[in-house]
Amino acid sequence: MDARFADSAATHRRSGASRGRRGAIAAARRTWEDALMHGRAEVRLRRARRVAVLAVIAASSVAGCTHAPPPVPGFGSSPGTASQTASVTPLPTLPWPGPATAGGPITAGLIPLPVLARTDPGESFTLSSRTRIWIGTDQAAQPIAETLAAALRPATGFPLSVDRSVDPPPDSFLLAIDQSEPQLGEEGYDLTVTRGAVILHARTPAGLFYGVQTIRQLLPQRIEATSVQPGPWEIPGGRIVDYPRFAYRGAMLDVARHFFTVAQVERYIDELARYKVNVLHLHLSDDQGWRIAIDGWPKLTSIGGKTAVGGGPGGYYTQAEYRAIVAYAQARFITIVPEIDTPGHVNAALVSYPALACPGTRLAPYTGTGVGFSTLCVDQPVVFQFLNDVVAQLAALTPGPYLHLGGDEAASTKPADYLRYVEQAQKIVTAHGKTMMGWAEIAAAPLDPSTVAEYWNFRDRGATARKALDQGVRLVAAPADHAYVDQKYDPSTPVGVTWAGPTSVEKAYSWDPTDIAPEDRLLGVEGPLWSETISTLSQVEFLAWPRMAGIAEIGWTPRAERSWSTYRLRLAAQAPRWEIEGVNFYRSPEVPWVSASAATNPS
In the three-class reduction of DSSP (H, G, I as helix; E, B as strand; rest coil), residue 408 is classed as coil
Task: Give dist(CA 274, CA 271) in Å, integer.
Answer: 6
DSSP class of 280: E
Cβ-contact 172, 135 below 8 angstroms: no
In the three-class reduction of DSSP (H, G, I as helix; E, B as strand; rest coil), residue 134 is classed as strand
Cβ-contact 348, 289 below 8 angstroms: yes
- Cα distances (angstroms) measured from residue 270 to each of 264, 298, 330, 331, 502: 10, 31, 11, 10, 27
* Main-chain dihedrals φ then ψ at residue 303, nearest 5 degrees: -115, -55
Among the options 321, 409, 581, 590, which is catalytic? 409
Task: Give dist(CA 328, CA 171) in Å, integer.
Answer: 32
What sign for the dihedral angle of Cα 93, 99, 100, 102? negative
User: Residue-wise over 364-397: b if at least 16 C-beta within 10 A, else e?
Assistant: ebbbeeebeebbbbbeeeebbebbbebbbbbbeb
Task: Give dist(CA 174, CA 176) in Å, integer.
Answer: 7
590 is catalytic: no
Consecutive H or E run containing 455: strand 452-455
Q: Angle CA(50)–CA(54)–CA(55) in degrees, nearest 5?
A: 115
Task: Give dist(CA 577, CA 560) in Å, integer.
Answer: 27
Helix, strand, coil percentages in the chain from 3-state DSSP, rounded to 5: 40, 15, 45
Half-sphere exposure of 482 (CA within 13 A, CB side): 20
Catalytic residue numbers?
409
